[in-house]
Chain A
Amino acid sequence: MLANFGKRVWDGRWAYIFIAPAMIPFVIFTGYPLIQGLLLSFYKAGVNRDKWRYIGLKNYSNLLTRDPVFPTAIKNTFLFVLGVVPAAMIICLFVAVLIYPLSQRRQSFFRAAFYMPVVSAGVVLAMVWVYIYSQEYGLLNYIFESLGLLDLLNGGEKIGWLAQTDTALLSLAIVVLSWSLGQPLILFLAGLGAIPDSLYDAAKIDGANSWQAFWKITLPLLRPTMLFVLVVLTIAVFQVFVVVQLMTLGGPANATQTIVFRIWVTGIVGAKFGYASAMAVILLAIVSVLAIAQFKLLDRQFT
């Protein structure tokens, strides 16, 4: 038995050589920090290494019961995900179904337009949107004023999109949404391309209208693609950081705090390594549960 295992390892020696360039940095720069982070979360740990002290679960209990901001950050992160992910999926599905029948050239115009915000760094868009959202001289207020929307919504006053607690989170979510459309759209178009036309011909012959064809053919056959998009988007939106750091710094009144932003503020800026690691572990727990749930759904597709 053992000899057999040894032989299989020996037979696989070339495979180990080929995975080594990936596995060695992986262990040093991913595996080790992951475990280290788990351990650090039980310590009171700051810049001075000699003063690191084991405090058990205290970081966690403080985070969940005493921290004035972290629960809000968790809530906001979920609001981001619950707002952006379904919106992106529905918009992309709608757009994909509509532009699929177009000629290749027109289709690639739309693909490029929707993919453009993905290509431009988050930083670039965040900076432009700060300018657009500005209360005194922003383009958005100007557009709203021109359309008569300011009178309708705010009694003619200009809106401080990023300065008001009731609009700040939504304003950031729209920026994140704008760069979350490109990839799903391309995936949906590819998914549509994999559905045989003959199914639609058959449906046509059977007298189905296009609404029925969409619900009975398109949607069920796009299911695997939709699940994949769901996973990728959820994880991407969970990491929302750039917009917060560059546009609001978590304000006003903590309305736009997110988990990753708290990790940065606490761990990097504030050098409270232990406390920030506990935040990261909570993020890990949330993402793992979601990833496992979504993977269960995807299992058939990947293995």
Chain B
Amino acid sequence: MAQNTYSPAKNLMPVDSSLRRRYFVGRWLRYLALAVVLALALILLIPIVWMLLGSFKIQRVALAYPPELIPSNPVLDNWERLLINRPSLRWMLNSFVVAGGIAFFGVITSTCAGYAFGKKQFPGRTIFFWLILMTMMLPRQIYMIPLFVLMKNFGWFNSYQGMIAPYLVYPFGVFLMRQFMQSIPDELLEAGKMDGASEIQLFRHIILPLSKPAIGAIAIFAFMAGWNDYLWQLVMATDELWLTLPVGVAKLTASGVGSIDIGVGMAGATFAFIPMLLIFLLFQNYFIKGITVGALKG
């Protein structure tokens, strides 16, 4: 969270909580409103808890009405079938390779391009930057069909390169990096040049070390985008072994209309959720930094 630096009072006395309390409405009204917010937050968590509980229910319990809120007879059956009978570990590997690849290339292209757009003058700078920015605003599905035909011609179905290639450039990352580069003082680069550093050295020894926070944010966002991507991976993988985790998991329940196997579906959904949850809990601050850097100038 950005802390306020303007408030003169802050320098004179310890931060008084009443100073931060900007909404001096009656206390009870505020508590009531907060209770509403708390309820909302809990409602948002219900589906996740319900999914976890569902993964331990056998079909008969899962279909019971009224539903058993806590499964009276929890079983590992669903997890067993998910992990042993289905290539779910392979799906997870696929997801890690695809999301990791997208993050890796996204960081490289964003950092290099962001540096040029943020720190260098050259003909075409504005037009190139706006071209990339425009695609940040455009839904990918607009050019999905020709891309599909292109991949078909390349023979890249059921392959990592086919799943990663359209994401080599991460427009939001380029944008975020440009904003970030503009905040690096020119004097640092000037000083480096005076010392006779080459362009590559300037980039490696001055720009890269300073960009670590932005690189972290981009890596995480690109990874999340890659991990959660569904439509393109659905289009690219036709062989069961090449599915990514979300696509594979989605197919668990889709097979066999009428007799949907809920327990395995919920176990699969939980399985797909856990890696992102861990990443979020570990890198929460990067998420917040990444979101806010792009939006607020300076």
Residues of A within 8 A of B (CB): 5, 8-9, 11-12, 14-16, 18-23, 25-26, 29-34, 36-37, 40, 91, 94-95, 97-101, 104, 107-117, 119-132, 136-139, 142, 145, 178, 181, 183, 186-187, 189-191, 193-198, 200-201, 204, 209-211, 213-214, 218, 224-225, 228-229, 231, 235, 238-239, 241-242, 246, 260, 263-264, 267-268, 273, 276-277, 280-281, 283-284, 287-288, 291, 295, 301-302
**Contacts A119-B224, A260-B139, A283-B139 hold; do A131 and B295 have CB atoms under 8 A apart?**
no
Is the CB–CB distance between A128 and B269 below 8 Å? yes
**When the two chains form the complex, which single residue of A26, A193, A238 contacts B4, counting CB atoms closer than 8 Å?**
A193
**Closest Cβ–Cβ distance, residue B192 to chain A (whole Å):** 13
Is the CB–CB distance between A273 and B65 below 8 Å? no
Is the CB–CB distance between A194 and B296 below 8 Å? yes
Is the CB–CB distance between A235 and B137 below 8 Å? yes
**When the two chains form the complex, which single residue of B40, B122, B174 contacts A15, counting CB atoms closer than 8 Å?**
B122
Query: Which residues of the other chain, A, contact B145 by a CB distance below 8 angstroms?
Result: 37, 40, 263, 267-268, 273, 276-277, 280
Is the CB–CB distance between B115 and A18 below 8 Å? yes
Query: Which residues of the other chain, B, contact A128 by a CB distance below 8 angstroms?
Result: 47-48, 50-51, 54, 266, 269
Is the CB–CB distance between A19 and B117 below 8 Å? yes
Closest to A194 in B: B2
**Closest Cβ–Cβ distance, residue B154 to chain A (whole Å):** 10
Query: Which residues of the other chain, A, contact B272 by a CB distance below 8 angstroms?
Result: 121, 123-124
- Ranked nearest first, the 6 interchain pairs of A and B with the lowest CB-CB distance are A12-B122, A113-B41, A22-B113, A25-B168, A33-B143, A36-B146
**Closest Cβ–Cβ distance, residue A163 to chain B (whole Å):** 14
A14 to B273, CA, bound (A): 42
**Contacts A5-B123, A18-B113 hold; do A121 and B227 have CB atoms under 8 A apart?**
yes
Interface stretch, picked from B5-13, B70-78, B211-219, is B5-13
A178 to B113, CA, bound (A): 34
Residue B109 CB within 8 A of the other chain: yes
List, sorted by A's number, 27 A–B pairs whose CB atoms are closer than 8 Å.
Answer: A9-B123, A14-B199, A22-B112, A22-B169, A30-B143, A31-B131, A34-B146, A94-B33, A101-B21, A109-B41, A110-B37, A117-B48, A121-B230, A123-B249, A127-B253, A137-B65, A186-B287, A190-B2, A195-B4, A196-B7, A197-B19, A197-B20, A198-B8, A201-B7, A209-B24, A276-B145, A280-B144
Is the CB–CB distance between A25 and B165 below 8 Å? yes
**Closest Cβ–Cβ distance, residue B43 to chain A (whole Å):** 8
Query: Which residues of the other chain, A, contact B64 by a CB distance below 8 angstroms?
Result: 137
**Closest Cβ–Cβ distance, residue B90 to chain A (whole Å):** 17
Query: Which residues of the other chain, B, contact A127 by a CB distance below 8 angstroms?
Result: 51, 249-250, 253, 265-266, 268-269
Q: Which of B119-147 contact A (CB under 8 A)?
A: 120-123, 125, 128, 131-132, 134-135, 137-147
Closest to A18 in B: B116
**Closest Cβ–Cβ distance, residue A160 to chain B (whole Å):** 14
Best-surrounded residue of A16, A101, A235, A287 (most CB of chain B within 10 A): A101
A-B contact count (CB 8 A): 336
**When the two chains form the complex, which single residue of A31, A132, A228, A277 contacts B47, counting CB atoms closer than 8 Å?**
A132
Is the CB–CB distance between A231 and B144 below 8 Å? no
Is the CB–CB distance between A241 and B277 below 8 Å? no
A19 to B169, CA, bound (A): 11
User: Majority SS of interface residues in chain A?
Assistant: helix
Query: Which residues of the other chain, B, contact A241 by a CB distance below 8 angstroms?
Result: 141, 230-231
Is the CB–CB distance between B265 and A22 below 8 Å? no
**Closest Cβ–Cβ distance, residue B243 to chain A (whole Å):** 11
Is the CB–CB distance between B1 and A124 below 8 Å? no
Q: Which of B249-283 contact A (CB under 8 A)?
A: 249-250, 253-254, 262, 265-266, 268-270, 272-273, 276-277, 279-280
**When the two chains form the complex, which single residue of A26, A129, A137, A301 contacts B131, counting CB atoms closer than 8 Å?**
A26
Query: Which residues of the other chain, B, contact A124 by a CB distance below 8 angstroms?
Result: 51, 246, 249, 269-270, 272-273
Residue B89 CB within 8 A of the other chain: no
Residue B183 CB within 8 A of the other chain: no
Interface residues as binary, B216-253 with A (CB distance below 8 Å gives 1, 0 otherwise) = 00000000100110110001000000000011011001
Residue B94 CB within 8 A of the other chain: no
Residue B208 CB within 8 A of the other chain: no
A131 to B51, CA, bound (A): 9
A21 to B165, CA, bound (A): 13
Is the CB–CB distance between A12 and B169 below 8 Å? no
A34 to B66, CA, bound (A): 51
Is the CB–CB distance between A260 and B141 below 8 Å? yes
Query: Which residues of the other chain, B, contact A30 by a CB distance below 8 angstroms?
Result: 135, 143, 166, 169
Closest to B33 in A: A98
Query: Which residues of the other chain, B, contact A187 by a CB distance below 8 angstroms?
Result: 291-292, 295
Residue B45 CB within 8 A of the other chain: yes
Query: Which residues of the other chain, B, contact A113 by a CB distance below 8 angstroms?
Result: 41-42, 44-45
**Closest Cβ–Cβ distance, residue A78 to chain B (whole Å):** 14
**Contacts A25-B165, A127-B253, A267-B148 hold; do A122 and B4 have CB atoms under 8 A apart?**
no
A210 to B30, CA, bound (A): 12
Is the CB–CB distance between A116 and B45 below 8 Å? yes
Closest to B112 in A: A18
